[in-house]
Amino acid sequence: MNLKYITIGVRDSNVQELEAILNQKVKVFELSNVDVTIEDLREEFSNVNEFLINNDLEDENLFFREFNIDPYGLTIDFNVLPNYKYLFVLEAFVFSLAQIISSTLKIECLVMFENMKIPIGLFKEGALVENFDKYNSEFFKSRFWRPNAPATNIVQ
């Protein structure tokens, strides 16, 4: 059974554009034991938000209370087994892939880890505009890499 681990939420794009980039970039690395899927969850995100508002509830995740995730409902999910031995490499690769997608399609990409519980970075047209330190500093204490500070450099 795979565990959904890393997600790139994409704003204002379509599935065909994403598939074209993934076919080009992901297959180059031949990600073994990683299941990559694209899902359109925009309606589900909106429904959850509406339900919370209508019932005067708050999301348990502080990030979701403070950041509107609804526009990033077109998702690319990287699912791995819990004992996946190349997790650190996959994390850094997906972070870079989000930057490439954002730059190529001139859109925003939101990177989230651990089943969309921890925001890692927000790219806008290839530039990292937010690294969400407030929400992920504990997560990165045990990691060998960290997202760069907001910058305008584009890596392709």
pLDDT tens for each residue of 58-93: 888 889 889 988 899 999 999 887 777 888 888 888
Residue 118 is predicted with a pLDDT of 92
Are residues 78 and 5 in contact, defined by beta-carbon separation less than 8 angstroms? yes
Q: Tens digit of pLDDT for each residue in 10-40?
A: 997 778 888 888 888 776 556 667 888 889 9
Share of residues in the chain with pLDDT > 90 (%): 31
The answer to whether position 84 is within a domain reads yes
The answer to whether position 154 is within a domain reads no
CA distance 105 to 149: 22
Which contacts qualify for 139-146: CB closer than 8 Å, 24 or more apart? 139/113, 139/114, 143/88, 143/91, 144/88, 145/88, 145/91, 145/92
Tell me the pTM. Answer: 0.85
Are residues 95 and 111 in contact, defined by beta-carbon separation less than 8 angstroms? yes
Instruction: Domain count for the chain, please give it.
Output: 1
The token pair that represents 94 in the structure block: 């997906």
The answer to whether position 156 is within a domain reads no
**DSSP-based three-state secondary structure for 90:** helix
The answer to whether position 148 is within a domain reads no
Its domain, for residue 104, covers 3-142
Residue 129 is predicted with a pLDDT of 93
Q: Residue type for 9, please?
A: G
**DSSP-based three-state secondary structure for 77:** strand
The answer to whether position 8 is within a domain reads yes
Least confident of 26-40, 42-56, 104-118: 26-40
The answer to whether position 72 is within a domain reads yes
The answer to whether position 98 is within a domain reads yes
Q: Using the structure block, give the residue that is written with the tokens 């998702």.
A: 75
The answer to whether position 149 is within a domain reads no
Residue 45 is predicted with a pLDDT of 85
